[in-house]
Amino acid sequence: KAGVTQTPRYLIKTRGQQVTLSCSPISGHRSVSWYQQTPGQGLQFLFEYFSETQRNKGNFPGRFSGRQFSNSRSEMNVSTLELGDSALYLCASSFRDISYNEQFFGPGTRLTVL
Partner 1 sequence: LAKTTQPISMDSYEGQEVNITCSHNNIATNDYITWYQQFPSQGPRFIIQGYKTKVTNEVASLFIPADRKSSTLSLPRVSLSDTAVYYCLVGLGGYNNTDKLIFGTGTRLQVFP
Query: Which of residues 48, 68, 72, 111 is near partner 1 by CB under 8 A?
Result: 48
Q: How many CB atoms lie within 10 A of CB 69?
A: 11
Q: Does 102 bind partner 1 (CB under 8 A)?
A: yes
What DSSP state is assigned to residue 87? E
Q: Does 61 bind partner 1 (CB under 8 A)?
A: no
Query: Which of residues 13, 30, 55, 67 is near partner 1 by CB under 8 A?
Result: 55
Distance in angstroms (rounded) separating the CA atoms of residues 91 and 54:
14
Nearest CA to 53 out of 97, 4, 3 is that of 97
Q: Does 105 bind partner 1 (CB under 8 A)?
A: yes
Instruction: Decide if 103 contacts 3 (C-beta within 8 A).
Output: no
Query: Which chain residues interact with partner 1 by CB under 8 A?
Result: 4, 33, 35, 42-45, 48, 50, 55-59, 90, 92, 97-100, 102-108
